[in-house]
Structure 1
Amino acid sequence: MDTLNAMATFVRAVDLGSLSAAARELRTTQPTVSKAVAALERHVGVRLLERSTARLAPTDEGRVFLDHARRVLDLQAEALDQVRGHARAPTGQLRINAPLAIGQLRLNAWLLDFLKMHTAVSAELILNDRFVDLAEEGMDVALRLGGAPPPHVVAREVGRSRRGVVASPAYLASAPRIRRPADLSRHEVLRFAWAASLDTLVLDGPRGTRETVPVAGRYRVNSSMAIREGLLLGAGPGLAPDWLVQDLLDSGALVRVLPAWHAEPQRAWVMYPSLRYRPARSRMLVDALCDSVPSWPGFRAA
């Protein structure tokens, strides 16, 4: 049995959630993949996968083996990189994770351009708004937004995005005037569900002033794209990072409310697992993101 090949097949089957998906990616048949995984299970003496019609999932022993298999495959890639040096362009697949909204609005198009420049590299972009354990889920790189990253990853802050109150011109034309932060209390403010502080906005203003404003509203949603759409539809004012609405501000579809006031900026981080060898393709992607994110619409250098 080709143990390394069987381990690679097992890892991809877990990552993709099915034997047939792994077979398609590896350009082989589903029975071939199934036989490779079964041979690996016989070799290690335990069952590694729970097979069901819904989704493939590792057993408890399979999860332990999965982590070790990733390390072995990383070491193999490192050995090949060291031997080959820089004689050829980076190759292989990247798995990248990012939040839905920034993935759709900014990262997706950028990544497609990146692949045009590096034709020997392929990419799998996984978009979701939950915090992903990069090592456990086999991610090479993640782009995340928010506060300080967890200690088990390596993180580089790559940009910051101003956060301010915005609204549609149509909403402002029919709503009470907003001249100062306290006026927001008279409006139904669109808010992000699960935010650290749902019922107040903390805004910094001219000459170092700061105001904490109680806000209310009947609508909260856990999607940045839904907040964006709600603002466009005139559902109310809302606090938004510039990267989410910069194109709408530029076109006039949204306008800044209280432009002299802003909340703490949103920080952008590029992260990768701290315990994994990073092949050349991963290092290249991280460096490219660090160079590019500050120039994306709505961002500035950290």
Structure 2
Amino acid sequence: MDTLRAMQFLVRTIELGSLTAVAREFGTTQPTVSKVIAQLEAQLQVRLLERSTKGPVATEHGLRFYDHAKVMTEQYEAAVGEIQGASGQPAGFLRIHAPVGLGQFRVNALVQEFMRLYPGVEVELILDDRFVDLVAEGVDVALRLAAPGPVQHLSQTAVGRHLAVVPRFLVAAPAYLAQHGVPLQPDDLDAHDFVRFATGAAGAGAALDLTRSGEHVRVETRSRYRINNALAIRDVLASGGGIGLCPEWLVRDLLDGGGLARVLPDWWATPQDLYLLYPSRRYQPLRAKLFVQFVADRFLALPGFCKPF
């Protein structure tokens, strides 16, 4: 029996609560995972998992063994990473999580570049706007956009690195402004079609907070069209569908090319913060360390991202 692999299976089973999820993660079958863990139990002569209709649950012995097994598997990953670092050839599986719009528009291309640099690394990029539990879902690195301040929904099992500040402002297509008029003050927005991100609750997000040289206002907007995808909002605005609030990274190329124009250019919305998150484990695989540094170096060179204050 491959004891190290058995420990890896056990650790991830306890973290994920699913033999099927572990099988999918390791590219094997659920019966194989179950058999290997059963062999480990036979070797140790203790039951590590209780099987039930709700899935496997660690026993008291299983939890105690998990603490040691996790350290040992992470030490193994670190040893492999050290050897790979010496050879310059990191390898293995890397799971990355990012918001849908940011992932499609920016992260996807960066991942492709990273894979060209390190051909031994296999990547799974998950694009999803929800907050994820990094450990439970086996995520090595996540990117998250959040309101200014301490990153939200950051558990004790994760580390957050403030990567960039994201300016946000109002934009519209020149054709839309020519047809419907140019707002001269924030209150004028009430007479315009405002395209905004769908929050799932009627009326939620209709109020807009804007700032100009220390002056703050809150205005109501009228949104006939709400979309839960940033790239779709970009397309609608570029086609003249209304006025929208966008992060600079999403529209900088259209602004430079004349496809969109700033609306109320002296006014700014609250910026967002971009964070890199990764599990707070002592031993981080080399491939994950390299990707974290790679993304940190690349993002600040992209238009629409500013160095944190």
On the 8 A contact 2:206/2:222 being kept in 1, the answer is: yes
AA aligned opposite 1:232: A
State the Cα distance separating 1:248 from its structure 2 match.
Answer: 2.0
Gaps of 5+ in 2: 42-46
Q: Counterpart in 2 of 1:38? A: 35
State the Cα distance separating 1:85 from its structure 2 match.
Answer: 7.7
Quick one: structure 1 residues 48 and 7, their matched pair in 2 at CA, closer, same or farther if it must change by over 3 Å? farther
AA aligned opposite 1:103: G
Say which of 269, 272, 288 aligns to 2:275: 269
On the 8 A contact 1:160/1:294 being kept in 2, the answer is: no
Q: Counterpart in 2 of 1:250? A: 256
Name the SS for the 2:94 alignment partner: strand
Quick one: structure 1 residues 36 and 179, their matched pair in 2 at CA, closer, same or farther if it must change by over 3 Å? closer
Q: Counterpart in 2 of 1:93? A: 93
CA RMSD of aligned residues (A): 3.1
Quick one: structure 1 residues 92 and 39, their matched pair in 2 at CA, closer, same or farther if it must change by over 3 Å? closer
Residues 1-302 of structure 1: pairs in structure 2 closer than 5 A = 1-8=1-8, 11=12, 17=21, 19=23, 25=27, 30=29, 34-41=31-38, 43-44=40-41, 45=47, 58-61=55-58, 71-81=71-81, 84=83, 86-89=85-88, 90-147=90-147, 148-149=150-151, 150-152=154-156, 153-194=158-199, 198-205=205-212, 207-302=213-308
- The TM-score normalised by the length of structure 2 is 0.80
On the 8 A contact 1:163/1:264 being kept in 2, the answer is: yes
Distance, in Å, in 1 between the alignment partners of 2:36 and 2:249 is 49
Q: How many residues align?
A: 287
Quick one: structure 1 residues 15 and 295, their matched pair in 2 at CA, closer, same or farther if it must change by over 3 Å? farther
On the 8 A contact 2:19/2:56 being kept in 1, the answer is: no
State the Cα distance separating 1:42 from its structure 2 match.
Answer: 5.2
Distance, in Å, in 1 between the alignment partners of 2:51 and 2:301 is 44
Moved more, 10-19 or 187-196: 10-19
Name the SS for the 2:194 alignment partner: coil
Moved more, 177-186 or 242-251: 242-251
State the Cα distance separating 1:188 from its structure 2 match.
Answer: 2.2
Distance, in Å, in 2 between the alignment partners of 1:249 and 1:50 is 57
Q: Counterpart in 2 of 1:54? A: none
Please list the CA deviations of residues 23-63 of structure 1 after superposition, one character each: whole Å capped at 9, or x if unmatched: 7x46xxx5xx6334323135434667889xxxxx953449x
Please list the CA deviations of residues 201-240 of structure 1 after superposition, one character each: whole Å capped at 9, or x if unmatched: 11112x3222211112222232222322221232210111
Distance, in Å, in 1 between the alignment partners of 2:112 and 2:84 is 26
Name the SS for the 1:96 alignment partner: strand
- The TM-score normalised by the length of structure 1 is 0.82
Please list the CA deviations of residues 214-269 of structure 1 after superposition, one character each: whole Å capped at 9, or x if unmatched: 11222223222232222123221011101112222222222111111111111111
On the 8 A contact 1:166/1:237 being kept in 2, the answer is: yes
Taking every aligned residue pair, what percent have the same amino acid on both sides? Answer: 37
Distance, in Å, in 1 between the alignment partners of 2:141 and 2:178 is 44
On the 8 A contact 2:182/2:263 being kept in 1, the answer is: no
Distance, in Å, in 2 between the alignment partners of 1:22 and 1:265 is 36
Moved more, 125-134 or 115-124: 115-124
State the Cα distance separating 1:16 from its structure 2 match.
Answer: 8.0
Distance, in Å, in 2 between the alignment partners of 1:123 and 1:286 is 13
On the 8 A contact 2:169/2:267 being kept in 1, the answer is: yes
Gaps of 5+ in 1: 52-56
Quick one: structure 1 residues 16 and 41, their matched pair in 2 at CA, closer, same or farther if it must change by over 3 Å? closer
Distance, in Å, in 2 between the alignment partners of 1:15 and 1:244 is 40
State the Cα distance separating 1:199 from its structure 2 match.
Answer: 2.3
